[in-house]
Amino acid sequence: MTDKVLDPVALSDWYVVATASEIEPGRSEQTRLLGLDVVLRRNTEGVCGASLLAGDGAERPMTSIVERYGLIWLCLGTPRREIIAIPEFDESQRRVIRRGRIGVATSGQRVIENFVDLSHFSFVHTGTLGGYDNAEVPEYRVEFREDATELWATECRFMQPKASAAAGAAEDVLYDYRIWSPYISVIYKDSLVCRGKKDLICLFVQPLEETVSVVHSCALVHDETNSDNHILHFYHEIFAQDRSVLIQQLPKKLPVKPRRDIPTISDATSIAYRRWLDKSGLEFGLDRSLP
Amino acid sequence: MKLYDYILDADCYKVRLLLAFLRVPWQPVKLNVHPGRDHHAPWFRALNPRGEIPLLDDDGFIVGSAEAILVYLATRYDEKRTWLPMTPTSMATVMQWLQFASGDLAPLSRARMRDLTGQMLQEDPDRAQGRSALEILEDHLCERELLGDEWVAADHPTIADVAIFAPTALAEEAGLSLENFPAIWRWVDRMRRLPGFIVMPGIFPVPLLKHDIGPSLASAILCRCIVTNSVRKSSAGDCSFPGHGLLATERVLNQAQDDSRRMQFSPFVPI
């Protein structure tokens, strides 16, 4: 584990480690990130700090901690870039539904790969995001943006019986997937309430260990009819379905080398993600063995 | 009828499942149990001082605790009285197994919720206790089968089966594999085939394919599809047209065989 923590690629990136409102002034919380113990402590002025906890109990203060989008972001090394820009958080027309922490005993990369996969909809989210009668994944585009620091899958189209809590009837829904980092991805999905607008689903994985993750997520949705709790149940149902599949996948670390997978055309995003991870130099959570 | 409900709670699922079997209409009152802890909010404590879900409100009669709700629903709405038989011996037997569901299997649900809400422990003592309870259940179901009975407490399904089913079928989610519990597998499959059966996240329905290709093949393929998170139109599609994609089917089956651990999704398939 110690070797992996020295992983410079993992250390120089940003991770969500808590929802800001979880930690009240004067309170602290202990968590883990990249196999290390971290203490988050909010002072009485409301400022949240973080420190690394050594084996002997000594605390080393961390400087790269930021509160944004109602979340606490931490980088354990020197950040190589700014935190992901999601301007939709500042727009007022969407409701922000915070799903809380969901634990998954697998690597964060498995969680992201599942998140960006269209072909499981019909079989894992039968009746909401897909159905047996429309299991085929139409072709979509995969591209790199922002100097290849971001991976996008665009023009994804899927027939969904109930695309959101507010959806009334089955519809062909257009998706864009944005993978900002190995552990962070955002879906931009047609709103069925406000035509021409997008709902966002953001997934922020906090890798506790290589194969133990906590998923923080938010849905930014147009919905004027349903209660917060109704929308929350909708998303909890979907993510718990994903989780029950994720905990079965082996190996838990994501294989990234060519010929470790036997892909089909609908796996284009997954394959691009695996090869992109391979090139990134990241070690944490990845299975780099050759076939 | 209102049920104070949380979609991921195994105890709430016990009640939803019996309501579905009995075909009784009801409305959910959806609580934000995680992360909101609504069940500890003063307004909910006023209804249920124990701060626990599920809670049933049937036209003003309020009752909590999943097993008590099952007893109420079966006595009130099951005219044939099969879900809770009333002879002294059968009723006592059902009660004994309801106790098992709420007591012995409770550690499984606790471990599951800890894992699910990101509070996982490295060595969860509840997991070991949950395993012991599953061993008791496995032995019991095995004995029942030898006697020619397929259900926990009678020669037909009762509320004891419903109460035990939820935490047991979700054991994988508590980090406990059901691989070594074949009698439990078979019973879980029988439960899933009862008329009116409904699922919750973590529990999959019996596979339905367009053409009957036999339960083993169908479930092997679907479970392979589900667990690898990678069903392509090809694998699911091929198998619904016999003769058209046997090679693909065979490939899927071989992969499923290679990965026996994943086969636990289709316990009724001895390949």
Cβ(A165)–Cβ(A221) below 8 Å: yes
Give the separation between CA A173 and CA A240, rounded to whole angstroms. Answer: 22
Record: contact B116-A212, CB cut-off 8 A? no
Interface of B with A (CB under 8 A): 6-8, 30-32, 34-36, 38, 114-120, 172-173, 175, 200-202, 205, 208, 222, 225-234, 236-237, 259, 261-262, 265
Reported as a pLDDT band with limits 50, 70 and 90, residue B238 is very low
Which class is A87-287 in CATH?
alpha beta
SS3 state at A27: coil
- The reported pLDDT for the residue numbered A40 is 97
Measured at the CA of B32, the angle between CA B28 and CA B37, to 5 degrees, comes to 130
- The reported pLDDT for the residue numbered A2 is 44
Q: Which tokens in the block code for residue A207?
A: 């890798």
Which of the residues B231, B235, B251, B254 would you substitute to probe the A interface, choosing the one with the greatest number of A C-beta atoms within 10 Å?
B231
Record: contact B232-A248, CB cut-off 8 A? no
Give the separation between CA B116 and CA A34, rounded to whole angstroms. Answer: 19
- The reported pLDDT for the residue numbered A264 is 81
Here the ipTM equals: 0.90
Question: pLDDT tens digits, chain A, 291 residues: what are they?
Answer: 444 467 999 999 999 999 999 999 999 999 999 999 999 999 999 999 999 998 888 999 999 999 999 999 999 999 999 999 999 999 999 999 999 999 999 999 999 999 999 888 988 898 899 987 888 888 999 999 988 899 999 999 999 999 999 988 899 999 999 999 999 999 999 998 999 999 999 999 999 999 999 999 999 999 999 999 999 999 999 999 999 999 988 899 999 998 887 788 888 999 999 999 999 999 999 999 998
- Considering only alpha carbons, which residue of chain A is nearest residue B208? A132
Topology given in CATH for the domain delimited by A2-74 = N-terminal domain of TfIIb (2.20.25)
Q: Which tokens in the block code for residue A5?
A: 């923590």
Q: Which of B8, B227, B236 sits opposite A236 (nearest CB)?
A: B8
Q: Where are the alpha helices (DSSP H) in B50-124?
A: 66-77, 88-102, 106-116
Record: contact B116-A123, CB cut-off 8 A? no
- The reported pLDDT for the residue numbered B239 is 33
Closest CA to A221 of A89, A40, A72: A89
Record: contact B229-A114, CB cut-off 8 A? yes
In Å, how far is B95's CA from the nearest CA of chain A? 31
- The reported pLDDT for the residue numbered B262 is 39
Reported as a pLDDT band with limits 50, 70 and 90, residue B254 is very low
- Considering only alpha carbons, which residue of chain B is nearest residue A120? B229
- The reported pLDDT for the residue numbered A258 is 86
Record: contact A229-B237, CB cut-off 8 A? no
Mean pLDDT of B7-36: 97
Domain with CATH 1.20.1050.130 in chain B: 1-205
Q: Which of B117, B200, B229 sits opposite A103 (nearest CB)?
A: B117
Chain A residues close to B225, C-beta within 8 Å: 123
Give the separation between CA B37 and CA B53, rounded to whole angstroms. Answer: 11
Exposure class string for B11-39: b at 16+ Cβ within 10 A, else e: bbbbbbbbbbbbeeebebbbbbbbbbebb
Chain A residues close to B115, C-beta within 8 Å: 103, 105
- The reported pLDDT for the residue numbered A57 is 85
**pLDDT per residue over B170-197, tens digit each?**
999 999 988 889 999 999 999 999 999 9
DSSP secondary structure code for residue B210 in this structure: S
Give the separation between CA B36 and CA B16, rounded to whole angstroms. Answer: 22
Measured at the CA of B167, the angle between CA A104 and CA A243, to 5 degrees, comes to 20
Chain A residues close to B6, C-beta within 8 Å: 233
In Å, how far is A230's CA from the nearest CA of chain B? 6
Chain B residues close to A101, C-beta within 8 Å: 35, 117-118
- The reported pLDDT for the residue numbered B188 is 94
Mean pLDDT of B79-107: 97
Q: Which tokens in the block code for residue A259?
A: 């010929």
- The reported pLDDT for the residue numbered A154 is 95
Give the separation between CA B93 and CA B99, rounded to whole angstroms. Answer: 10
- Considering only alpha carbons, which residue of chain B is nearest residue A227? B30
In Å, how far is A102's CA from the nearest CA of chain B? 5
Record: contact A248-B173, CB cut-off 8 A? no
User: Which run of H or E residues covers position B136?
Assistant: helix B125-146
Tell whether the model's pLDDT for residue B105 goes beyond 90: yes
Handedness of CA A251, A249, B220, B140 (dihedral sign): positive
In Å, how far is B226's CA from the nearest CA of chain A? 6
- The reported pLDDT for the residue numbered A6 is 76
- Considering only alpha carbons, which residue of chain A is nearest residue B207? A123
SS3 state at B53: coil
SS3 percent helix, strand, coil of chain B, rounded to 5, is 55, 5, 40
Give the separation between CA A68 and CA A50, rounded to whole angstroms. Answer: 15
Give the separation between CA B160 and CA A11, rounded to whole angstroms. Answer: 51
- The reported pLDDT for the residue numbered B221 is 53
The count of residues in chain A is 291
Reported as a pLDDT band with limits 50, 70 and 90, residue B228 is very low
The interaxial angle of helices A108-115 and A268-280, nearest 10 deg, is 150
Edge to edge, the sheet with strand A28-33 lists A28-33, A36-42, A48-53, A59-62
- The reported pLDDT for the residue numbered A262 is 79
Closest CA to B263 of B231, B234, B221, B235: B221
Chain B residues close to A237, C-beta within 8 Å: 7-8, 200-201
- Considering only alpha carbons, which residue of chain A is nearest residue B31? A229
- The reported pLDDT for the residue numbered A124 is 87
- The reported pLDDT for the residue numbered A243 is 95
Chain A residues close to B34, C-beta within 8 Å: 100, 236
In Å, how far is B155's CA from the nearest CA of chain A? 32
Half-sphere exposure of B7 (CA within 13 A, CB side): 21
User: Which run of H or E residues covers position B237?
Assistant: helix B233-239
Record: contact B201-A114, CB cut-off 8 A? no
Topology given in CATH for the domain delimited by B1-205 = Glutathione S-transferase Yfyf (Class Pi); Chain A, domain 2 (1.20.1050)
Chain A residues close to B226, C-beta within 8 Å: 120, 123-124, 245
**Domain residue spans of chain A:** 2-74, 87-287
Record: contact B119-A103, CB cut-off 8 A? yes
Record: contact A244-B202, CB cut-off 8 A? yes
In Å, how far is A266's CA from the nearest CA of chain B? 7
Tell whether the model's pLDDT for residue B247 goes beyond 80: no
CA B234 to chain centre: 30
Supply φ then ψ for residue B16, to 5 degrees: -60, -40
